[in-house]
A and B are shown apart, each in its own frame.
Chain A
């Protein structure tokens, strides 16, 4: 394997590993093409740490003072090694863990550091670990994924009157970031769709993403229309949207940009649906932070959480300054607005921003969680993520290339998916009985989106996944999470189905820092985990008795 050329030193003995929540350990460090393996050689313990190199977001190396190294372990057998030099590598992971490795031998240390630096950043998808991961309890012949657009459509019988499944994108030529099949109004034929696609950025023409059974209203999503400075129109686009609200007096367009941003977009070829051409649609604007600003917000918050100054004022001002909670607030209130339009006001909604692959998906997903009880079970939620994020073409590879610690120059990284998980956690806080999954699931997903044994979050869209054979050559995370053993720890023991919408409160007093994620590696979280375990045990005990 060509990885070997990046590995000069594969094994080092007598390495000291320091990691959160554990006492330091001494043992052997191994580097392989995909992993960093540490095995503890202390007497009486055989702890192992296996870390995917891809999880490493940043690495810092320094030549340590020998005294600190030797004072930690004053056991015998060490003195002879002290004659050499040593170094320390600090590893900061995408799941926010920070490791420190004290490596005897300057050269070994530098070699290891170099290997980590190179191997953690390799971005050839087909060489990533999911293509090599072969768990014994699963076969690649198992069905990949939980659902498909075809299945989704065929299950939704009530759609069939007015909506059809179009395969105009079967070879990804109409819209490279859409799946092969999408749901559109019955009255629009494929020729029309091709024309509409040309009028929407990236070909993302309006498609159905949610059908509200109670009143037949829908949520559509798309990218911005390419009206440009000379106010181009597209009859087919107008017709398509008209067909969406067929029989109703109006619909709402939720634009996730400010008016200013929308106008600016128009200058550069993008734009918005003008009142004159789309007279039955009312446009509402909710500015959502995106892209780089969101990434910077995450970086600031993570930095604030690592601040050890123990100063209350400083913490609160850093928390405020990161703006992360403001983004959570905006996302939840915009999703609430969409749900309100559909459920309360009884009108259909089209959501878009500019590209329609980030905040658009965030909003449509949250709105569905608020309204649709089917999305709130463990399967339902994972299916929703598969449909609204994987199939709908959220560019995971670009957005999750780096996380909060990376020193690399920001390119297209943006923690939109993380923001979604945070918002879902806020919902879970406010409705602890209404969601069928646990915080553990959200935490697991927060890591898997960045680094994974599974192929689910690889690539940017279905087209890329097809080209690389992701489906055929990797395992599916969502299926793994639903296996009997795993399922238990990802489901919410308190879950109880409710048909009703769960309207979140978006008052600042109601939104909290997601400690489970941002302070995951601090000892305080441990007591809260114990409490969760206590809850699970209570429910299990009660369940046993009630069934006996």
Chain B
């Protein structure tokens, strides 16, 4: 609380991003965890909540007659533009927020102060909800080829790896330790995914410290052991996900890549995914395009192209496809690494898993995949997401790219995923929100030291409890799209811009009706009806038996108008307020009861990320200006003089 210089400012204006002439006046409150803007309009209580940990950058602009403007960019891509009447106040708010949004010590993170009403037993269950060992068991491990190694207990071999690791049966501790000394940060080759069907495996590591000529017998033995754990195959792929040039540059620093001559039976392959710095800049450029006030189609497409973002997404997906095909179609094991083996390697291994295994396309499966390839293998969430005040050069949207790859796949295979895009977006928000302990710290060792299991809550069980919101109604476990390996196309035209994430808060851009919500409602109702039908049939049978009296079919007391349905219809047809300006959104509310909006405005639930109580879903459309506005177009009559003079 000591960081709040000014807890309340009156007469603050919140500008509409798309049409700045439309703004809302209200009071701005700073709390220990949130910035809250409450609109002062009689009758409505419109609130906008922004979590401090989601604030990405703050920009105070020069004071003008109308006040001093404070621009807040959030990590969930929300942009808020406040105009604060007095410069002094703006200055105070700015300084307070700057401090509040950049905690210096882990204990200041929101997850340590977030206290839902849960006792310690429930909290333990929350954290036990996902069990990585169970996932390995599902893969059929341990077995005669792969064993659970205790070599990294107490994180002695690699402090960024988890304690439990699977290694080839023939890999002895000396081999592992030897190999780890030859790999950056001790991240020796270890198992990420194993295919029961054909014994092919995906392994991951960091780059070898090969320099120009160094060799390591144990490392060579380690790869040999991996190869031998796949009895049907006589070679394996080693995939370096970096561009070749970057890998070569690393050799000068005593690092580098495997020399095919030193390792028996490996096929070495560069894939060419750019590094975290390129990705950070790319996303920044794309967000600049997304935030343009009224871009033309050309501005938008040119900006999207020059950001390079979709090109990078394609590169990650291409790499995932290469690995998935090697495993599923060729039955060949793959070792994947980049430099440290916690960014690109995590992306590529997890994308390959999604392609390979239908389980990872379910709700629980995606959670466990993130837990496995990202959290346990030490993706540096604290650094990459900038949870604490730190080096801005360490920040990079690596996990965003993974989530986007999954989304791109969902767009190509609408029936293959059990979850919907809302699930991905919610995960994205909470990766950055610091509300749950899952994504705090850079590796397992740090998380244990912070005592996260004892002091914070787990996102996964929250998501599981609310799974109804995240189910894709088109998913059917027995659908042909659901089965086996996904074979997506990576033709450039298959990649779309992910509006629902990057322009998430620009409601006016989104479809005004949701097929998904409609179908979810239908699905739920179909289930209810089926149950009713079954129970009625049972009753009839019972009655017939008991009384030997047959009920005419018509008499079945069945509600023909689906309940809740008609109710929602009324709601959908409520005329909306159009006075907000020309060209506000359509009135059509999705008729299904669950909408993103209700989810967000449901403040009693713990989703306090950024409250979307902004009920006015419409936005003034710039390109369709009011016919009365001065800038419509000039009448050539006004040029009359000039014309007759010529």
Contacts and interface: CB of A to CB of B under 8 A. Distances in A.
Contacts of B523: 538, 542
Contact of A530 (B481, B492, B621): B481
Interface stretch (A103-111, A155-163, A498-506): A498-506
A494 interface: yes
A344 B585 CA distance: 12
Interface stretch (B236-244, B307-315, B461-469, B605-613): B307-315
Contacts of B513: 430-434
B634 interface: yes
9 contacts: A262-B636, A276-B637, A317-B302, A340-B627, A500-B587, A530-B415, A535-B519, A538-B519, A542-B522
Interface of B: 290, 295-302, 304-305, 308, 310-311, 314, 412-415, 473-474, 476, 479-481, 489-497, 499, 503, 506, 508-515, 518-519, 522-523, 525-526, 529-530, 533, 558, 560, 562, 569, 572-573, 575-576, 578, 582-588, 590-591, 618, 621, 623-628, 632-637, 639-640, 643
B635 A283 contact: yes
Contact of B573 (A262, A337, A498): A498
B297 A431 contact: no
Interface residues of A, number: 78
B533 A545 contact: yes
B560 A433 contact: no
A502 B305 contact: no
Given A274-B637, A508-B299, A340 B512 contact: no
Contacts of A51: none
B298 A546 contact: no
A154 to B, nearest CB: 29
Contact of A310 (B296, B412, B492, B576): B492
A157 to B, nearest CB: 24
B627 A502 contact: no
Contacts of A283: 635, 637
Interface-centre pick from A336, A434, A498, A505 (highest chain B CB count, 10 A): A505
A548 interface: yes
A546 to B, nearest CB: 5
Nearest to A518: B493
Contacts of B618: 503
Contacts of B588: 431, 433-434, 498, 500, 502
Interface string A304-327: 010010111111110110010110
Contacts of B295: 507-508
Interface of A: 252, 259, 262-263, 272, 274-276, 282-286, 305, 308, 310-317, 319-320, 323, 325-326, 329, 333, 336-337, 340-341, 344-345, 429-434, 494, 496, 498-503, 505-513, 515, 519, 522-524, 527-528, 530-531, 534-535, 538-539, 541-542, 545-548
Nearest to A528: B414
B302 A337 contact: no
B123 to A, nearest CB: 39
B539 to A, nearest CB: 15
A90 B459 CA distance: 57
A314 B519 CA distance: 37
Nearest to A311: B492
Nearest to B511: A430
Given A500-B586, A503-B583, A546-B529, A333 B624 contact: yes
A312 B494 CA distance: 10
Contacts of B578: 344
Nearest to B311: A312
A275 B514 CA distance: 45
Given A252-B627, A320-B298, A344-B578, 14 more contacts: A272-B636, A285-B634, A311-B492, A312-B311, A312-B495, A340-B582, A496-B572, A499-B573, A502-B586, A506-B623, A509-B499, A509-B509, A538-B522, A539-B522
A345 B578 CA distance: 11
Nearest to A271: B636
A310 B491 contact: yes
A399 to B, nearest CB: 23
Contacts of A337: 624-625, 627
A548 B305 contact: no
Instruction: Name the 10 nearest CB pairs between A and B, nearest first.
Output: A508-B300, A315-B492, A320-B301, A531-B414, A316-B305, A545-B529, A312-B311, A275-B637, A326-B297, A285-B633
Contacts of B308: 312-313
B205 to A, nearest CB: 29
A320 B586 CA distance: 28
B127 to A, nearest CB: 37
A509 B290 contact: yes
B493 A305 contact: yes
Nearest to A286: B633
Contacts of B506: 507, 509
A237 B493 CA distance: 50
A497 B308 CA distance: 42
B623 A329 contact: yes
B497 A509 contact: yes
A248 to B, nearest CB: 14
Nearest to B513: A433
Nearest to A523: B489
Contacts of A515: 493
Contacts of B632: 284
A524 B591 contact: no
B414 to A, nearest CB: 4
B634 to A, nearest CB: 6
A433 B636 contact: no
B529 A275 contact: no
Interface-centre pick from B308, B508, B569 (highest chain A CB count, 10 A): B508
A501 B582 CA distance: 13
A310 B499 contact: no
B582 A344 contact: yes
A407 B443 CA distance: 62
Nearest to B562: A546
A508 B493 contact: no
Contacts of B296: 326, 329, 508
A505 B569 CA distance: 23
Contacts of A519: 493
A472 B200 CA distance: 69
Contacts of A336: 583, 621, 624
Interface-centre pick from A285, A512, A522, A524 (highest chain B CB count, 10 A): A524
Contacts of B508: 505, 507
A308 B494 CA distance: 12
B476 to A, nearest CB: 7
Nearest to A541: B526
Given A531-B415, A541-B526, A548-B558, A341 B627 contact: yes
Given A285-B633, A519-B493, A432 B511 contact: yes
Contacts of B636: 259, 262-263, 272
B527 to A, nearest CB: 10
Nearest to B522: A542
A507 B509 contact: yes
Contacts of A513: 493
A535 B635 contact: no
Contact of B415 (A503, A509, A534): A534
A523 B494 CA distance: 11
A530 B644 CA distance: 63
A515 B496 CA distance: 11
Interface-centre pick from A494, A501, A509 (highest chain B CB count, 10 A): A509
Contacts of A547: 560
A308 to B, nearest CB: 8
A509 B289 CA distance: 10
B622 to A, nearest CB: 8
Interface-centre pick from A282, A345, A433 (highest chain B CB count, 10 A): A433
A531 B298 CA distance: 31
Nearest to B584: A503
Contacts of A314: 492
A284 B621 CA distance: 17
Contacts of B533: 545, 548
Contact of B474 (A329, A524, A534): A534
